[in-house]
Structure 1
Amino acid sequence: MRRKLTLLISLFSVVAAFGQTEEINRKLYTTARIEGEAPRIDGLLNDEIWETVEWGGGDFTQRQPNDGGPPTEQTKFKVLYDDKNIYVAIRAYDADPANIVKRLSRRDGFEGDRVTVLFDSYNDKRTAFSFTATSAGVKGEEYVSNNGDDWDEKWDPIWYLMTSIDEEGWVAEMRIPLSQLRFADQAQHTWGFQVMRYYFRNDERSNWQHIPQNANGFVHRFGEINGINGIRPQKQLEIQPYIVAQTETYEKEEGNPYATGKGSDVNVGLDAKIGVTSDITLDLTVNPDFGQVEADPSQVNLSAFQLFFPEQRPFFIEGSNILTFPTGGREFDNLFYSRRVGRRPQGNVDTDMDGDDGVEEYVNSPNNTRILGSMKLTGKNRNGFSWGVLESVTKEEYAEIDSLGVKREQVVEPMTNYLVGRVQQEINQGETIVGGMVTATNRGDLKGLDGLTKEAYSAGADFTKFWMERKYFVRGRVLASQVKGGTASILNLQEASARFYQREDNHYRKVDSTRTEMSGTAGSMTFGKASGNFVYEVGSSWSSPGLELNDIGFLNQTDQVAQWLWGQYRKLEPFGIFRSARTNINIYQNQDFGGELRGREVNWNGHAQFKNFWRMSSGASATLYQASNADLRGGPSIIYPKSYDYWVWASSDDRKKVVVELNPWWGWGEDGYSKNSGWWWSLGLRPSNALNVRFVGSVSSRDNEMQYVNTVDSNGQPRYIIGNIHQRTYNLSMRVTYVLTPNMSIQYWGQPFAASGAYSNLKRVTNSTHDEYQHRFNTISTSLDMVDNTLAVDENNDGTTDYTIDNPDFNFTQFQSNMVMRWEYKPGSTLFLVWTQNISENPTVDRHSFDHLANSLFDKQPRNIFLLKYTYRFVL
């Protein structure tokens, strides 16, 4: 660990010596203060006050496809301001106004012709506030950070927009309250400034300040706006109370007092956004409700690891770009995973659901942990120091158990406090960034929940250094974690799928049932080239066996040291039949902390857009070595034969009213051990500017001779059972959006899903790392008991049952749907009407046909939830 830290510090010191400031020929626009009456926001630009300032623009430059060339149509703009607002007028010229594309969408839809204005009001060359207007009058806004690498669409400021079309083209007129921006308290201001236009018919992007496509960075290349004098930062104070009325219907269960077939509830809560100072914003939510959030897509998980689902709750999404700290290891691994806050209660209920003692008990347990309150404090000052703090408290949750009318309660989740803090300091206008992050999880009285940790902490530090006009960079991070609890909770972590200390071939970590704490480290170092036609990265990462982040972060598997090399060659300007093209190659390998090789993979992929606006991609990969120390769920490591796969993707012109995408894939393993194939497709329909319909479907087939089945004890010895699986998965989703006005829409989403798995030719693992594939296991005989749905196993084929296992065959079907009517009746105030339906079923496993799966799904009564949510935003 000390050697790794020394290497990080030494490398940082060396590359810091190569820093130099990039020379950019910046455009300058001068605005003026309004003296008199402000313009009326009607999209007409007929107010005399607009004549007091000059037009900017008229000299826009293409960014795509012809980088640096003249645009098809020119664009001009004007900017005014007063003590409370910034006013922007944009004239988008068009020689054929009748063909301007006015596609209606929900907010942040970014459909059709559009213009965008961006303010780097911090003037820190790293962040910007983006406001987009479509020709149909739909608003979109994004908070831009990390010099353009992150665009946060969930940022929803209050501002005003009107658009119109005339004989010269179309016009966007905006009023942006200064309270929605952040800037320093000083007499004179110079801000970073950019205006962009998307010309839909040609899929063309043009900018006022030219930024080459292959340049590294974005915000630091903006032009500038000056003439802003005498304004003061506005303290933002927005309070948004809400009320939610909900009723639900579902299948009644006879005798179960908690499954009466219907229920209803009313809830109230409050959201607030407070500008503590010009540099600090406080977001609050009390008793939050996320009833209008779409459900997670259906999946079947046959791996040893947890699935990752993206955050969908608005409070946690907005501003999430600052509260993130990837470990540099596996995808999604992060110090903070906001879905841990409010998760499903983790405690198991002690009950006799099968009535083995003659008394059947029923349980009423919450699906999610109630968030009592959460606050998020974010800020950035003029010196480039930014910070974010999130604090959340979830309540103690109880399950109620009914036994012949006698009720008792059992704690299933303790009261918990979650704390996350992140800081970053930019040096020399973002050419060097250093930062750190800490997290803490503290649980109250566990009350019998011995499997949960009492405390969990993590901390990390990171840096990025650019040099040679930001062409090259080096990035490093190091982090550590510590968890504390009773012996049962730490034992659970040692034996969890992230590390499996109990493996018989694990000679460097052993289970210690007396431990009450565990700690670990991780880190990474990456060097790369970020601009030009050829870009690349080379890096290495590690995560020690004791690393644990899952109390408040996300960690799939630790105990690994990885190295990778990625390179890309790209041509971003039109050539031949292409508008643009790029190709990538990746080489990756990893070992465990015992020095054993775990994987080595090479893959290639290429992507192109043609001059007819169609797109195509393809890729292939070869897994040259694969050994898993987790797939046998605590058993020894197992080696798999080499495997290969390839895929193709193609899309028609996405500007058209009908858009088709196809993505077939194929894969196979040596020695015939695996075979998989499938295809994904998408059909988009735009019958009118107000109606958008999209279907997405997939069908996949997977055959694998080494799928884990079960671990059983036979005469005191573990038996690791694998088998041939024949798996089929069917997935379809439909999304229909009808936009009545830019502020009112109706959207329906529905997803039928079905999956089946049939096992055969079960095998006992005997020598999991043998050089010869066929010598790693022995085939065993099984017979099915139809009554108990169990398999009797005869290991040595002597006609005697040695042990039994549950029948691993499965069928699963699910239909989820969600319909939302959203009306923003005034800026920031919204009415939601929501209907959610869910049907889940496990059909019998005597058949695995598609008809059997589909017919079983609709034999069950669905669960319907009807919800009304009313919010009103007070701006004080």
Structure 2
Amino acid sequence: MKRAVRFGGGWLAGLWLALAVPAQAAEGPRVPAVFRAARTQVAVAVDGVLDEPAWAAAPVYSDFVQSFPTPGAEPGERTEVRILHDERNLYVGITAFDRQPALIRRSLGRRDAIPPSDMVTVMVDTLRDRATAYLFSINAGGTLEDARLTEDTTEAKDWDAVWEGEATVTQEGWTAELRVPLSVLRFPEALVQTWGFHVRRQMARTHEQVDSTVIPREANALVSRFADFQGLEGVHHQRGLMLTPYVASRLTASRTEVPLGGVSSVEPSADVGLDFQAALASDLSLTGTFNPDFGQVEADELLVNLSTSEVFFPEKRPFFLEGLELFQPVGAQAGRSAQTLFYSRRVGLDQPLLGAVKLVGTVSDGVQVGLLNAVSLGAPALGNAPARGYRFQWARPLHFASQATLPRVVPPPMNSLAGVLRAEVAQGQQLGLMVTAASPLSSKCQGTPLPDDPPCVVRGGQAAAADFRLRTADGVFAVSGQVDASRVTGGGPEGLLLRDGTLLRPGDLGFGAYLRGGKLGGEPWRTTLTYEYESPTLDLNASGFQPLQNQQKVSAHVQYGRGSRWGIFPELWLGVRVQGGWSTDARGLPLSRGLDLTLEGVLPDFSTLFCDAGVETDRRDLREIPGRGLAYELPDFGYLTCGLETDPLRPLALKLEGYVDRTTRNGPSPGRVGKALSAGVSWRPMPRLQTDVDVSYEATQDGPRWTGETEDGRLLFAELVPRFLTLTFKQLVVVTPRLTLQARVQLLTGLGPYGPFYAARIPEDGTVRLRDLQPVTDVEDPSFHTAALNVNVVARWEYHVGSTLYFIYSRAQEEPLLEGADAGRRSLGPQGLGLGPRSDTVLLKASYAW
């Protein structure tokens, strides 16, 4: 069903409208002064105090201008920037003057998670390609955050670097001091460097954002507007090798279901591993990992997926986060697009990762390359080996565990490859090529299966894509797209039957494409058009993420508003969106039609609001009845969703989001009301503490759902209005910016009552219509009740730059499986959660970088 569409969405009713609507002339950016750096012969102590003589002699940049809420206005407070460098480091000193220093917001947070507060951000375009840059942020409390900027405006927070920063509040405001090693930056080898440079300051109590050159929110430009950076002469990239070995030990206590005669066990294990990073050239680096341990990773969010497509989970493993933005498709949002060739969560999904290497960098002006190769290799339990005690196996030489923790059957070793080449042929014009491959290194699975074990299937695949991005110099008009293809390997001659009935055989090819473009920046009008195509046999999921196939969609969005003050609103956008979808097989079936109205804005008290209301008609689902190739008619529906988030800079911030829909009566299906509500509160009583509590309730529906077949071959369906309640509690304690403790507790409980039940004959024309459904009784009831609890406690101490010590406790607990008519009549609350299977794990991990 339709759910909330947040800021940043955009679709256009037609390209003619984009051309017909006169675009308001974009205000040209004020030409900024030039940043200049001075060389220092003495290393600078990074303590947040600019008291070294070198700082006093450094050139001062103070030509800041307001970007929000009034673009082009004079800043409310003065800001000064000084830059130094030596052979190994770039130093940035920022003085943020404030006439009310007692009101400076200096909340503390975890590394790479700066809470709402006074902060400054330094951005460096070392290649001067006006499209990519490094971003380093620090707030008044000393919390650090870094990221990479790509495609001029896209921020990839996955990137992490080893650098230092300190902040100090003074009687005149606050100061920030940053040291960025030149080894973490990619720049060309030249006697005189030509970089781009930008500094942004955000003041919490006034919501003011000032920049070294004005960049309004509606500009759709960032890196392309950086000022020039001069004074870097005789700087060379420091070639070297950084090693980060680690050792980890964990103890897991588990218990199976008590009603099934469950048993308890305590299993210790240990791992050793190594990460390395080598600078091969001034702008080319090689990183690698052996037996990586991801024990410090927070648990994924609990959910129950009742849809017919896979759920996307963001990457959290450190090795894959580094340089991940280069492997993302153009126009990717939240790390994915409709056709993502490389989905790093696929690597190591079925078995542990033995090792991986990644080469990322620039090989010539405007040409970037990325190459990643990983080998996943599991170890099966040995039938004649003792169940308890540590044991060494060649398949996992750096992992020591008892045989009881190993599976009976493991897939063959898998090699995962991803390569990308991107070239900036001109400013704002980028071309790219990408290939991926998932290749089994053996044709057989390993281990000794039991008679009731599911078959182990060996399957792989390859994919390739060409993409492009074109944009005007001011970023107002832009278009991007991708054309891709896939090939299936392995899986046996019988092939793989997809949910929509498509049979994928070894060697089958599939094709896809998408296009997005229009007037993406400026005001008051914005217009965007998108088109997406996936053939029935397109399968990128061997290495990538592709939730659906056998479909094509066109959508369009027109918005009117302002990214700067409009009446009493600091920002407000109104829009209308239309969309349609069809299958790409020979039938060309319509899959949906939709129209909705959108509102996005910032209220006078700096709360944010969004609303989306619309209708969808002529809906069909090719995946609801798995493997049959039948189209299933879905009821028309209308919906309304709205959300409100109060000013996050306040000590107590609230979030509310509500959703309601109504399906129409069709055949025996009466039409129902679905709803969802979520509320969250974030409380920061003091800079070192933050408490977050979130509650969500969902009871959405989409008409009768497929449940199976009768003995005489009829299809069974049943009404389903599942209810889910999720409670999440998070507590953060920041002792120092380098020593943090976070606890997270999530409880999910769900109830899925089915009924009444219907049956339908398989239609000759291949479309099951709601009016064809006939009431039936005496069928198996698939109603369910579920509950699960996750607890995750992480203590992180960065005791040396780049070196960390982790202590983690986690618990995963589920209630015993409840299915059938009795389960559907139970209450929503947990039912015997303490009697189900559970596991408790304690992990201690230490790493050291040198």
Relative to the length of structure 2, the TM-score reads 0.88
Q: What SS does the corresponding residue of 2:282 show, helix, strand or coil? A: coil
1:500 maps to which residue?
Answer: 501
Report the residue type matching 2:373 in the other structure.
E
Distance 1:92 1:516, change over 3 A: closer
Q: What SS does the corresponding residue of 1:56 show, helix, strand or coil? A: coil
Report the residue type matching 2:43 in the other structure.
A
1:157 maps to which residue?
Answer: 161
The equivalences for 1:34-45 within 5 A come to 34-45=39-50
Q: Does the Cα contact within 8 Å between 1:415 and 1:445 map onto a contact in 2?
A: yes
Which of 341, 344, 349 aligns to 2:347? It is 341
Per-residue deviation, 1:453 = 4.8
Which of 243, 246, 249 aligns to 1:245? It is 249
Distance 1:703 1:428, change over 3 A: closer
Which of 547, 558, 571 aligns to 1:556? It is 547
2:534 maps to which residue?
Answer: 543
Whole-Å separation in 2 of the counterparts to 1:167 and 1:332: 52
Distance 1:399 1:728, change over 3 A: farther
Whole-Å separation in 2 of the counterparts to 1:326 and 1:166: 44
Report the residue type matching 2:339 in the other structure.
D
1:218 maps to which residue?
Answer: 222
Distance 1:660 1:850, change over 3 A: farther
Whole-Å separation in 2 of the counterparts to 1:198 and 1:95: 15
Distance 1:71 1:468, change over 3 A: closer
Whole-Å separation in 2 of the counterparts to 1:60 and 1:327: 30
Q: What SS does the corresponding residue of 2:205 show, helix, strand or coil? A: helix
1:872 maps to which residue?
Answer: 848
Whole-Å separation in 1 of the counterparts to 2:848 and 2:825: 50
Distance 1:527 1:615, change over 3 A: closer
The equivalences for 1:201-600 within 5 A come to 201-251=205-255, 260-325=264-329, 332-344=338-350, 369-398=351-380, 411-429=409-427, 431-447=428-444, 452-467=457-472, 469-488=474-493, 491-492=495-496, 495-497=497-499, 499-501=500-502, 515-533=505-523, 534-592=525-583, 593=585, 594-600=587-593
Which of 757, 763, 766 aligns to 2:761? It is 766
Whole-Å separation in 2 of the counterparts to 1:257 and 1:778: 43
1:856 maps to which residue?
Answer: 832
Q: Does the Cα contact within 8 Å between 1:411 and 1:447 map onto a contact in 2?
A: no
Per-residue deviation, 1:597 = 0.8
Which of 732, 735, 739 aligns to 1:740? It is 735
Alpha-carbon displacement from aligned partner over 1:101-133 (angstroms, at most 9, x marks no partner)? 110111122231111111111111111111112
Report the residue type matching 2:312 in the other structure.
F
Whole-Å separation in 1 of the counterparts to 2:243 and 2:260: 42
677-686 or 852-861, which deviates more: 852-861
Per-residue deviation, 1:259 = 5.5
Q: What SS does the corresponding residue of 1:526 show, helix, strand or coil? A: strand
2:645 maps to which residue?
Answer: 651
Which of 707, 722, 725 aligns to 1:730? It is 725
Which of 663, 668, 675 aligns to 2:662? It is 668
1:609 aligns with 2:602: yes
Whole-Å separation in 2 of the counterparts to 1:252 and 1:32: 63
Q: Does the Cα contact within 8 Å between 2:516 and 2:531 map onto a contact in 1?
A: yes
407-416 or 36-45, which deviates more: 407-416
1:710 aligns with 2:712: no
Q: Does the Cα contact within 8 Å between 1:252 and 1:261 map onto a contact in 2?
A: no
Whole-Å separation in 2 of the counterparts to 1:726 and 1:479: 38
Which of 758, 761, 780 aligns to 2:776? It is 780
The structure showing larger relative contact order (alpha-carbon pairs under 8 Å, at least 6 residues apart) is 2
Per-residue deviation, 1:334 = 1.0
Whole-Å separation in 1 of the counterparts to 2:131 and 2:465: 22
Q: What SS does the corresponding residue of 2:50 show, helix, strand or coil? A: coil
Q: What SS does the corresponding residue of 2:421 show, helix, strand or coil? A: strand
Whole-Å separation in 1 of the counterparts to 2:829 and 2:170: 56
Report the residue type matching 1:423 in the other structure.
L
Alpha-carbon displacement from aligned partner over 1:835-870 (angstroms, at most 9, x marks no partner)? 000111135452557757424113446311000010
Per-residue deviation, 1:524 = 2.2
2:396 maps to which residue?
Answer: none
Report the residue type matching 2:225 in the other structure.
R
Alpha-carbon displacement from aligned partner over 1:272-301 (angstroms, at most 9, x marks no partner)? 111111121111111011112112212222
1:837 aligns with 2:841: no
Whole-Å separation in 1 of the counterparts to 2:572 and 2:467: 33
Alpha-carbon displacement from aligned partner over 1:180-209 (angstroms, at most 9, x marks no partner)? 212111111221011110101111110012
Report the residue type matching 2:501 in the other structure.
F
Q: Does the Cα contact within 8 Å between 1:196 and 1:205 map onto a contact in 2?
A: yes
Whole-Å separation in 2 of the counterparts to 1:706 and 1:166: 65
45-54 or 677-686, which deviates more: 45-54
2:622 maps to which residue?
Answer: 629
Q: What SS does the corresponding residue of 1:50 show, helix, strand or coil? A: helix
Whole-Å separation in 2 of the counterparts to 1:67 and 1:191: 25
Per-residue deviation, 1:725 = 1.8
- Structure 1 unmatched runs, 5+: 1-21, 345-368, 502-510, 783-792, 794-804
Whole-Å separation in 2 of the counterparts to 1:172 and 1:225: 20
Distance 1:858 1:383, change over 3 A: same
Per-residue deviation, 1:396 = 4.2
Whole-Å separation in 2 of the counterparts to 1:170 and 1:255: 62
Whole-Å separation in 1 of the counterparts to 2:477 and 2:322: 30
The structure with the larger Rg is 1
857-866 or 248-257, which deviates more: 248-257
Q: Does the Cα contact within 8 Å between 2:329 and 2:337 map onto a contact in 1?
A: no
Alpha-carbon displacement from aligned partner over 1:426-472 (angstroms, at most 9, x marks no partner)? 0222x210001001111022326976354411101011222374432
Whole-Å separation in 2 of the counterparts to 1:517 and 1:270: 38
Q: Does the Cα contact within 8 Å between 1:26 and 1:224 map onto a contact in 2?
A: no
Q: What SS does the corresponding residue of 2:113 show, helix, strand or coil? A: coil
Which of 134, 158, 169 aligns to 1:129? It is 134
Distance 1:225 1:757, change over 3 A: same
Alpha-carbon displacement from aligned partner over 1:167-226 (angstroms, at most 9, x marks no partner)? 211111222221121211111122101111010111111001222322232101100111
772-781 or 263-272, which deviates more: 772-781
Distance 1:162 1:301, change over 3 A: closer
Whole-Å separation in 2 of the counterparts to 1:182 and 1:521: 35
Q: Does the Cα contact within 8 Å between 1:371 and 1:395 map onto a contact in 2?
A: yes
Q: What SS does the corresponding residue of 1:460 show, helix, strand or coil? A: strand
Q: Does the Cα contact within 8 Å between 1:327 and 1:524 map onto a contact in 2?
A: no
1:117 aligns with 2:111: no
Which of 714, 717, 721 aligns to 2:716? It is 721
Per-residue deviation, 1:491 = 2.0
Whole-Å separation in 2 of the counterparts to 1:774 and 1:409: 45
Per-residue deviation, 1:674 = 3.5
Q: What SS does the corresponding residue of 2:832 show, helix, strand or coil? A: helix
Per-residue deviation, 1:326 = 6.8
Q: Does the Cα contact within 8 Å between 1:326 and 1:334 map onto a contact in 2?
A: no
Whole-Å separation in 2 of the counterparts to 1:703 and 1:190: 57
Q: What SS does the corresponding residue of 1:189 show, helix, strand or coil? A: coil
Whole-Å separation in 2 of the counterparts to 1:290 and 1:80: 37
- Structure 2 unmatched runs, 5+: 1-26, 388-402, 447-454
Q: Which runs of 4+ in 1 moved over 4 A?
A: 22-25, 252-260, 326-332, 399-410, 448-451, 767-774, 847-852
Whole-Å separation in 1 of the counterparts to 2:382 and 2:578: 53
Whole-Å separation in 2 of the counterparts to 1:255 and 1:701: 30
Alpha-carbon displacement from aligned partner over 1:589-616 (angstroms, at most 9, x marks no partner)? 1111222111111222211111212222
Whole-Å separation in 1 of the counterparts to 2:235 and 2:756: 77
